[in-house]
Structure 1
Amino acid sequence: MFILGLTGSIGMGKTSAVAVFRRQKICVFDADGVVHQLLEKNGEAVEMVGEAFKGVVIDCQVNRNKLGEIVFGDAGALSTLEEIIHPLVRNKQRNFLRSVVNHRQSLAVLDIPLLFETGGERNCDAVAVVTAPKFLQKIRVMGRGDMTETKFRGIIKRQMQDQEKRDRADFIIPSGLGKRISFQSIQKIIRIVLTLPGSHWPPGR
């Protein structure tokens, strides 16, 4: 099985790229979605997060707005949260990959926003980065209802620069040139990686 890491900074169009992979019947692991599940009502991380951050658990689920207010701009608090969340996400990721193998699929995509920042590329056979011009990125992000300029700058500061991600990527998916170009780029990536052998599954191989 070939493992393709998929990443990209906020507002770069990664969600749309994921949708294209899924329409091509490719199995995609959604790291952000898993985090949401861990924090929702009776999720696996709720109790541990509640113990670490008092007052964020309401009705057996983590209030993500309250949690965000605590960890935003506080490196220590963010590190504590990551120590809770990351091992759980990695476990879910391993279960996902086992499922892909059991269903005899040749390609799995790991959609991980902070792939390079967390060293996740070491578990991938190749990495594709979704990218767009900075002005378009900002327009997209600031169009979100809960976004502010301060919050946007904070998120960007935490993420690796887009240029560095592109330099480290094996494949580039442009999302600022129209849906057709993005679709063709993804189709080409799929065709290429399906001809390549994977070397990261099973773990320790």
Structure 2
Amino acid sequence: MAALPATVRGMRTPRRIGLTGSIGAGKSTVATLLRSRGLTVLDADEQARLVTQDPAVLAEIEARFPGVVVDGTLDRAALAGRVFGDAAALADLNAITHPRVRARIAALEAQAAARGERAVVQDVPLLFEGGLEASMDAVIVVDAPLSLRVRRVMERSGLTEAEVLARDARQMPAEQKRQRATVVIENDRDLPHLEAQVNAALRQLGLDG
């Protein structure tokens, strides 16, 4: 799956490493560990939050979903309620936000290339679901047993078990993600065990030096 980096304007572009995992798998913890090891991690959700602070974007969202922008601020819970389970509504939202998110990430990747970085990690929750696998040189999937993932999400969010399971069911099954992964990181034990697997993954990807 790995591809040779391209050269753009005399700069070698960094390898693009996708980072993903099902809800409650612990992807954010792995992202933190990768940052601590010197890698640039671009968080797609963070970029989406920044995009939706743009007044022009808010105006488009409000025009399509009246009532979700209150006093110039996006009511994320209200918006989520409007698009959850509605494929057409979600597609409309993505049409507004995704091109801008991609542009922001491309600019950040260009900055990483200018710094001479060998690799950039893209933290994308719905990487496979969004068809982004083909644009990655390798993909790390973080996984854990379903019961553990559900418990983690319930503890941090206050959602019921049924609500967590419903959200998980709307994602690609974890087993399919594992099959498509370049590297699978098991997050089913303690932090030292997870750190050891992150180090092993970096060795496997040639990013430990």
Q: TM-score, structure 2 length as denominator? A: 0.87
- Pairing partner for 1:165 from 163, 167, 177: 177
Kindly state the Cα deviation for residue 157 of structure 1 after the two structures are TM-superposed: 2.1
CA distance in 2, matches of 1:105, 1:145: 36
Kindly state the Cα deviation for residue 154 of structure 1 after the two structures are TM-superposed: 3.0
Unaligned runs of 5+ in 1: 196-205
User: After TM superposition, what 4+ stretches of structure 1 lie above 3 angstroms from structure 2?
Assistant: 148-151
Aligned pair in 2 of structure 1 residues 95, 171: CA closer, same or farther (>3 Å)? same
> Does residue 54 in structure 1 map to residue 66 in structure 2?
yes
2:27, 2:142 within 8 Å by CA — same for their partners in 1? yes
Q: What is the identity, as a one-letter code, of the residue corresponding to 1:13?
A: G
What CA deviation, in whole Å up to 9, does each residue of 1:24-68 have, x standing for no partner? 01000000111122223x455212111110011112121101111
More off after superposition, 7-16 vs 86-95 = 86-95
What CA deviation, in whole Å up to 9, does each residue of 1:67-121 have, x standing for no partner? 1111122221111111112111111111111011011111110000000001111
Corresponding residue pairs, total: 195
2:101 maps to: 89
2:47 maps to: 34
Unaligned runs of 5+ in 2: 1-13
Kindly state the Cα deviation for residue 146 of structure 1 after the two structures are TM-superposed: 4.4
1:12 maps to: 25
Question: What is the root-mean-square deviation of aligned Cα atoms in Å?
Answer: 1.7
Partner of 2:157, secondary structure, is coil
What CA deviation, in whole Å up to 9, does each residue of 1:116-165 have, x standing for no partner? 00111111100010000111001001112342344323321221000000
CA distance in 1, matches of 2:182, 2:136: 11
CA distance in 1, matches of 2:166, 2:135: 27
CA distance in 1, matches of 2:43, 2:56: 17
2:52, 2:97 within 8 Å by CA — same for their partners in 1? no
Partner of 1:147, secondary structure, is coil
Q: What is the identity, as a one-letter code, of the residue corresponding to 1:101?
A: A
Aligned pair in 2 of structure 1 residues 23, 60: CA closer, same or farther (>3 Å)? same
Q: What is the identity, as a one-letter code, of the residue corresponding to 1:152?
A: V
Q: TM-score, structure 1 length as denominator? A: 0.89
> Does residue 156 in structure 1 map to residue 153 in structure 2?
no
Q: What is the identity, as a one-letter code, of the residue corresponding to 1:111?
A: D
Percentage of matched positions with identical amino acids: 34
Q: What is the identity, as a one-letter code, of the residue corresponding to 2:52?
A: L
> 1:1-205, aligned counterparts within 5 Å?
1-40=14-53, 42=54, 45-194=57-206
CA distance in 2, matches of 1:147, 1:69: 14
